[in-house]
Structure 1
Amino acid sequence: MSWKSIVSRAESLLGGRAPAVDLSLLGKSESTLLIDRVRSLAATTNHKLVPVICAELQNNPHNNIKYPKWPAAFSTKSKTSMFPQSLLIPMVGQLCLEKIDVDLLVLHRKMGNIFATINLALALHRTIADLSVPQTEFDRDNWLKNMESGNNFAVLAGDILLASASLELASYRIPKVVETISVAITDAVRAEFSDLMVEPAGNVTRSESVSLLKQWLDHITLRHGSLLGECCAATVVLNSPTTFNEKLSKTARHFGTTWACLSRLIEERAFFNQMCILRCLGGDLPMVPHITCILTSSCLRLKVSASNRPRTMTAIGFTESGLPEPTLADLCWISLEDDSEATKLYSYSMNSLSAQLQNAFRDLTRTKEATDGVHALAKESVDFLLSEAGCQNNCD
């Protein structure tokens, strides 16, 4: 079993490839407006807009966009290999029905498109650079000019995508759906001001480390979990706008939110495992010189130099959608001397989220026939995600 085979089945059952952003929204000649503009930025600045657009092109299909001879500056660490979250939305919507409804599937896939569009818009807005302190004094005027150009493009493109998503939401003509997604957008913005970003915990004792986990979960739920959860909940409203099932909507929301958080946790752990193995094999990790690797009888572990511990929430180098992202390990390593507590918190949180996902799935499928194609697909997807979480949980 692999994600590739699961996604292939999902595409055949759920109307095609994972819903993705329609980049033609940014202009009729996308190749000129988008690709060439980003190429220019990559050649003149280190604006964060560049890796965001690159990640979007790598991880999602865009038949109408051609980008031959893509420069090395556009490469990201890896291509997404998990179940596309925009495809999870129509799966949950159909899972909440007695049988597949083709008309509703169109609406569910549209919600997947809205999810992808909002995600990219928010990521673009987060790339806006602070121009008050240039990173280099060399050719200051050109640096400011190019970075300002990148900022303008990020703001304009993000605003256009958000406006498009708003129009698509309004086209449902269901106020509850608009309200639901508005809450998720608000949560994503609130993530920028969560405790994790504003004032992460200082030095804490190991007995207090559970507070670190709460900070991380609160942040990741706001930034990533809420939007997926609310989009899943919105499909329940679309299924029956006049007889809203609040309990089922709440369950769908919890399922989507938990899926997003657990997926993120698995990706973090995979990143750290790769980094650890590279260090043990003698690989160079110039971005994280304060990290060394310890090989024990049971696992590979990372250890942070107490004299040179990271002082930022993105020191480890993990990225999502092309942007540096804070991790649970970053948070622990700011507050603790090594990763031993971080390892325990990763294990604890994966076990907790796995149990929550299983419970949410059972609640979603209480009235669903086990032989139903969507039910079987969803069960296989959940089981495989849980197995990946279990594979990561090997450093107790």
Structure 2
Amino acid sequence: MSLLKQIGAVTALNVRSIPRRAAMSVASVVAVALAITVLLFFLALSNGLRRTVEGSGAQDVAIVIREGSNAELNSVVTRDQLNILATGPGVARQGARPVVSGELLVIVDGIKRSTGTKANMPFRGIGPEGLSLRRSVRITQGRMFRPGTNEIIVGAGLLREFAGFEFGKAIRLRGGTWQVVGVFEAPGTVFDSELWADIAVTQSLFNRPNVYQTMRVQLTSAQDMPAFKAWARGDPRLNQLEVLSEREYYARQASQSTAQFTFIAWALGITMAIGALAGALNTMYASVAARSTEIATLRIIGFSGYAAFVGTMVEALALSVLGGLLGIGLAFAAFNGRTTSTLGAGFTQLVFKFDLSAATVASAIVLALVIGLVGGVLPGVRAARQRPQLELAAQ
């Protein structure tokens, strides 16, 4: 009999004998499934956060922050610098007015719907052009706030996660009363997690007169970005500022925000995989012990040890793959596409969705295969080294 037929016969024998070890096999499958589910939870969290942050940026909008600032809360841009930046090369204009927005980000408290506890929220003061600089944003309920008034508009993502900011409500924040006059949507971006108000009113009520943290500048095209950056670097009045495209800025924020989740994902995933591997080894050793007579018989009639080895490996891989598929199914059913929130770079709640990408699922499949391969090697070697005469004599 050819080697392939031998391997096929041994594999079929192994698979048919699984019901005799149902409890151990199920435990092995569940252990792998749990390891995969935990891994996918944190990878989907990281992936969803990264997509939301990176998807917020445009190539033709410049963000100006203080050099060395890791987040807006650490940045300062003065009014004089804002006026200088508005005269830069390539700045888009509406009539005679440059399309720029000096902005201030402050932290306020909100009550999370899911837990009833307080959490930080981003409250952003924006200039008159702030809305037009964010092309993905549209007001879905109510209207834009009027300049010079205590009116705010609320991101739909923030509204889903926090109570008390519904359209038409009057709310108290930092000693001031604000009227919610609109709800806006910016799906898949960080803007969906913010409150917006007039920059001058925000500066006054939060005691930040004439202070900005960032400036957004609309350029006529993405090709104007290098020239604008070079001009800003060459002006001594702007030498403490850094100019980035929105896409660059949010990509940097994404790398800072998601690195910790990716680390946690693999740390926990590998830890649980080690536990699943122990279960797989026990299951496969029990499989080899339970089939010792069959293996001895096959060896006597001419089956090679290699066929016994491969058959054991295939059984281990089958159980691990089954566990991996179960874990992936649980992940898709339990949290893929669901909305959650976590702390962003500015220690404020950022609303986003879990995202199980193809690459994420592929990583889980690879981990399941590794568990199966490693869990099948040693039991496979034991099966291949079975001594037919001794095994039969023992029976």
Larger helix fraction of residues:
1
Q: TM-score, normalized by length of structure 1?
A: 0.25
TM-score by length of 2: 0.25
Q: Which has the higher contact order (CA 8 A, sep 6+)?
A: 2
The structure richer in strand per residue is 2
Instruction: From the CA coordinates, give the structure whose radius of gyration is larger.
Output: 2
